Amino acid sequence: DAGVIQSPRHEVTEMGQEVTLRCKPISGHDYLFWYRQTMMRGLELLIYFNNNVPIDDSGMPEDRFSAKMPNASFSTLKIQPSEPRDSAVYFCASSDPGQGNTEAFFGQGTRLTVV
């Protein structure tokens, strides 16, 4: 398996623009997580899905953030409108705890810069 795949790797956008981050989890993994990494806050869990259904979105910072998982192999994290304070590295991860593998496997991340 190619692992968790995220796109784009880097995104630079202007304040106020819509940003969409994409993730393809490892095939067969039924959990998908979106994390945000910043110097100040470390690694924060934003939202996670089980079998495409959002389970907990309490980590989503504001209504400007939304996430979807239309099928088992694809998820998006959208920020609309974007602000400079959203600049961070966004990681997607997946896991398959039902098989006893509770660890999360991470994608390469998307480095977002909002100017």
Partner 1 sequence: AQSVSQHNHHVILSEAASLELGCNYSYGGTVNLFWYVQYPGQHLQLLLKYFSGDPLVKGIKGFEAEFIKSKFSFNLRKPSVQWSDTAEYFCALYLNRDDKIIFGKGTRLHILP
Residues that bind partner 1 (CB under 8 A): 31, 33, 35, 41-43, 45, 48, 50, 55-56, 91, 93, 95, 97, 100, 102-109
Contact 34, 47 (CB under 8 A): yes
Query: CA-to-CA distance for 71 and 73, rounded, in angstroms?
Result: 6
Work out how close the CB of 16 gets to partner 1 at its nearest, in angstroms, rounded to a whole number: 28
Amino acid at position 64, single letter: R
Work out how close the CB of 48 gets to partner 1 at its nearest, in angstroms, rounded to a whole number: 5
Choose between 72 and 81: whose C-beta lies nearer to partner 1.
Answer: 72
Work out how close the CB of 80 gets to partner 1 at its nearest, in angstroms, rounded to a whole number: 25
Choose between 41 and 85: whose C-beta lies nearer to partner 1.
Answer: 41
Choose between 44 and 81: whose C-beta lies nearer to partner 1.
Answer: 44
Cα-to-chain-centroid distance, residue 16: 20
Work out how close the CB of 108 gets to partner 1 at its nearest, in angstroms, rounded to a whole number: 5
Contact 107, 4 (CB under 8 A): yes
Choose between 31 and 65: whose C-beta lies nearer to partner 1.
Answer: 31
Query: CA-to-CA distance for 42 and 4, rounded, in angstroms?
Result: 21
Query: CA-to-CA distance for 115 and 112, rounded, in angstroms?
Result: 10
